[in-house]
Amino acid sequence: MAYALQQLVNGLTLGMIYGLIAVGYTMVYGIIGMINFAHGDVFMIGAFIGIIVITALSGITAVPLGLLAALIISAALCGLYGFSIERVAYRPLRGSFRLAPLISAIGMSILLENYVQTSQGALERAIPNLIPGGITLMRQDGFAVQLTWMQIAIMAVTLVVLAVFTYIVTKTPLGRAMRAVEQDAKMAALLGIDTNRTISTTFIIGSALAAMAGVMFLLYYGVIDFYIGFNAGIKAFTAAVLGGIGSLPGAVLGGLLIGLIEAFWSGYATVAYKDAAVYSILAIVLMFMPSGLLGRHEVEKV
**Partners of residue 125 on adjacent β-strands:** 224
Query: Does the protein bind another protein through residue 186 (CB under 8 A)?
Result: no
Q: Phi then psi for 61, rounded to 5 degrees?
A: -120, 170
Query: Does the protein bind another protein through residue 127 (CB under 8 A)?
Result: yes
In this complex, which beta carbon is closest to another protein, that of residue 81 or of residue 220?
A: 81
Burial (CB < 10 A; 0-12, 13-18, 19+), residue 100, is middle
Query: Does the protein bind another protein through residue 212 (CB under 8 A)?
Result: no
For 35, how many CA atoms within 13 A lie in the half-sphere containing its CB? 17
Q: What is residue 192's DSSP assignment?
A: T
Query: Does the protein bind another protein through residue 120 (CB under 8 A)?
Result: yes
183: helix, coil or strand? helix
Q: Site map for another protein, 62-81, x if CB under 8 A?
A: ---------------x--xx
Tell me the closest approach of the beta carbon of residue 51 to another protein, in angstroms. 7
> In 3D, which of 43, 3, 2 has the Cα closest to residue 25?
43
Q: Which of 7, 10, 13, 109 binds another protein (CB under 8 A)?
A: 109
Q: Which of 3, 140, 183, 290 binds another protein (CB under 8 A)?
A: 290
> In 3D, which of 293, 229, 269 has the Cα closest to residue 48?
229
> In 3D, which of 6, 46, 31, 61 has the Cα closest to residue 201?
31
Query: Does the protein bind another protein through residue 196 (CB under 8 A)?
Result: no
Tell me the closest approach of the beta carbon of residue 298 to another protein, in angstroms. 8
Tell me the closest approach of the beta carbon of residue 116 to another protein, in angstroms. 6
Tell me the closest approach of the beta carbon of residue 12 to another protein, in angstroms. 23
In this complex, which beta carbon is closest to another protein, that of residue 99 or of residue 160?
A: 99
Q: Which of 174, 180, 275, 293 binds another protein (CB under 8 A)?
A: 275
In this complex, which beta carbon is closest to another protein, that of residue 177 or of residue 185?
A: 185
d(CA 47, CA 93): 29
Of 117-125, 142-150, 179-187, 255-263, the window that binds another protein (rule: CB under 8 A) is 117-125
In degrees, to the nearest 5, what angle opens at C-alpha 263 toward C-alphas 259 and 266?
140
Alpha-helix residue ranges (DSSP H) falling in the chain = 2-32, 39-57, 63-85, 99-120, 149-171, 173-183, 185-190, 195-221, 228-243, 248-268, 274-288
Q: Site map for another protein, 84-103, x if CB under 8 A?
A: x---xx--xx--xxxxxxxx
Tell me the closest approach of the beta carbon of residue 167 to another protein, in angstroms. 27
d(CA 208, CA 121): 24
Count of residues engaged in binding another protein, rule: CB under 8 A: 69
Query: Does the protein bind another protein through residue 302 (CB under 8 A)?
Result: yes
> In 3D, which of 63, 18, 1, 5 has the Cα closest to residue 274?
18
Q: What is residue 148's DSSP assignment?
A: E
Per this entry, what is the length of the chain? 302
Query: Does the protein bind another protein through residue 237 (CB under 8 A)?
Result: yes
Chain positions contacting another protein, by CB under 8 A: 29, 35, 45, 48-49, 51-53, 55-56, 58, 77, 80-81, 84, 88-89, 92-93, 96-104, 106-121, 125, 127, 230, 234, 237-238, 241, 245, 270, 272-273, 275-276, 279-280, 282-284, 286-287, 290-292, 300, 302
